[in-house]
Structure 1
Amino acid sequence: MTTTTPQHGRTGTTRQGSALAASALDLTKTYGRGEAAVTALDGVSVGIEAGRFTAIMGPSGSGKSTLMHLLAGLDTPTSGRSYLGEHELTSLSDAQLTRLRRRSVGFVFQAFNLLPTLTARQNIRLPLDLAGRPADAGWEGTVVEALGLGGRLDHRPGELSGGQQQRVALARALVTRPEVIFADEPTGALDSTTGAEVLALLRRSTEEWHQTVVMVTHDPNAAAVADRVLLIADGRIAGEILDPDADTVLAGIRDLGKVG
């Protein structure tokens, strides 16, 4: 495991000169006040490299989901700054932030979050409809074909398997050509075989379409698909693993228990 110390500045722990799709500077997030206050993130500075697959791992309550939510603009920090590309999220109004998320961010969740009354095609196009943007028929066709959904577009979520529903969710995330896809435990509700297929599709989106992917996971085998694993403990970046495999990820997680 490569232990890292976050640098002062938005490069975080990334390679010098790399373009950043998302980043954070001295992010702190505290819930509650006084003696009941809980610090979920404690001065985190980190950069997410564009066109690469980053996994975030740590014990339950370590702050990994909080970090992802702040990077995605789903939550606001107590202090510090977060960026999507060159846009400082912490300086935007709610309306500006909503427009930026619709244009630049794709989401994949453990629970799929599909609308049950809409067909697969309608669910895929939902972010475009909300943003008032027309579908790019060529790109939509490429995504649908790559995810093997061509024969399922007129089916509603209740008529699809869990793996098919997650493919629809991934297609929905990709159809806007976002700057970043944020995936929160995307394989958590799937069996191991179907989960591996979804991870392969996320990997493919990085390799073939140069998509930036940020994934929170508790599964070392899932994290091993990434280019880089960020390790979080007690609300702080505790290290990183480059070019991971399941064994190095497991070792990194074990070492977190020895920090401090």
Structure 2
Amino acid sequence: MPLARPRPAPPAPSASASAGATEAVAAVRAQALTKVHGRGETAVTALDGVDVCVTRGSFTAVMGPSGSGKSTLLNCLAGLDDATSGRVWVGPQEVTGLSEKALTRLRRDRIGFVFQSFNLLPVLTAGENMLLPMVLAGRRPDEAWRAEVVERLGLGDRLGHRPAELSGGQQQRVAVARALLPRPDVVLADEPTGNLDSRTGAQVLSLLRSAARETGQSVVMVTHDPAAAAYADRVVLLADGRLAGEVADPTPDSVLAALAALGG
């Protein structure tokens, strides 16, 4: 059963993925971002001169055909993958060129991750996994925010369970909670609802949207699901590693139409 929510009809897609987003209010920004895998005749260009700007407190979905560069863009924005050329900023801090130690500190303090692989530590309970980034940073959680996240993700009766005792969907919800609890500036999510049923997926997407609108966190989400993308403020479209436009105030139908125009 697909995730859906009513939305007003959107305007037509625009040609720029950074329209309305200025450097002064950027949570994360990329300029002329290029990523090439391999060399010579076997070289594959995953990103080809991408410019994108995500404003603070916004929820942006990234979509496109398979192999269009969506996950590569997310990894480069996080500094998990080195760009071949171009520049990336998280807030005022340029990511490109930072040492690994500085990158680790930046990711720990300012970026939350939700990826397809849950990356939970098997020896820790769900509750301990959620708090791990804050423990490593020497920070105490906001108990009211922690209680809200746990309740909205339906994890109250699973906090003492280890990952092996949780379903895939429950593990993904723990990973979402872990990303949100430190209140990072930016949350980067790669298919966060891919292992969830429609009801739980809707709860996760609503929480991500609330994090952007109510706490000022910025969310960048890669997804293949037009209904999931409709929770975002806009959808950035990629094709063959290049920007292919965007859909503002998306609905499932408008996203499907934009993807069809790309051949996706």
Question: Is the CA contact (8 Å cut-off) linking 1:58 and 1:218 kept in structure 2?
Answer: yes
Report % sequence identity: 61
Q: Say which of 243, 248, 257 aligns to 2:249.
A: 243
Whole-Å separation in 1 of the counterparts to 2:202 and 2:224: 14
**Structure 1 equivalent of residue 168 of structure 2:** 162
Question: Is the CA contact (8 Å cut-off) linking 1:111 and 1:189 kept in structure 2?
Answer: no
> Could you say which structure has the greater relative contact order, defined with CA pairs below 8 angstroms and 6 or more residues apart?
2
**Structure 2 equivalent of residue 175 of structure 1:** 181
Q: Which runs of 5+ in 2 are unaligned?
A: 1-11
The superposition leaves residues 16-67 of structure 1 with CA deviations (integer Å, 9 ceiling, x where unpaired) of 5761100001011001111111111111111011101100001111011111
**Structure 2 equivalent of residue 143 of structure 1:** 149
**Structure 2 equivalent of residue 219 of structure 1:** 225
1:2 aligns with 2:2: no
Question: Is the CA contact (8 Å cut-off) linking 2:124 and 2:162 kept in structure 1?
Answer: yes
1:128 aligns with 2:134: yes
The alignment yields a C-alpha RMSD, in angstroms, of 1.9
Question: Is the CA contact (8 Å cut-off) linking 2:153 and 2:204 kept in structure 1?
Answer: no
Q: Say which of 107, 114, 125 aligns to 1:119.
A: 125
Letter in 1 for 2:109: R
TM-score by length of 2: 0.89
Q: Say which of 28, 38, 48 aligns to 1:22.
A: 28
Q: 1:145 to 1:197 in 2, by over 3 A?
A: closer
Aligned pairs, how many? Answer: 253
Whole-Å separation in 1 of the counterparts to 2:139 and 2:202: 32
The superposition leaves residues 227-252 of structure 1 with CA deviations (integer Å, 9 ceiling, x where unpaired) of 10000001111000000000000000
Question: Is the CA contact (8 Å cut-off) linking 2:235 and 2:247 kept in structure 1?
Answer: yes
The superposition leaves residues 180-234 of structure 1 with CA deviations (integer Å, 9 ceiling, x where unpaired) of 1111011112233332222222222223323211000111111111110000001
Question: Is the CA contact (8 Å cut-off) linking 2:115 and 2:190 kept in structure 1?
Answer: yes
1:51 aligns with 2:92: no
**Structure 1 equivalent of residue 68 of structure 2:** 62
Letter in 1 for 2:169: G
Q: Say which of 165, 187, 196 aligns to 1:190.
A: 196
TM-score by length of 1: 0.90
Question: Is the CA contact (8 Å cut-off) linking 1:22 and 1:71 kept in structure 2?
Answer: yes
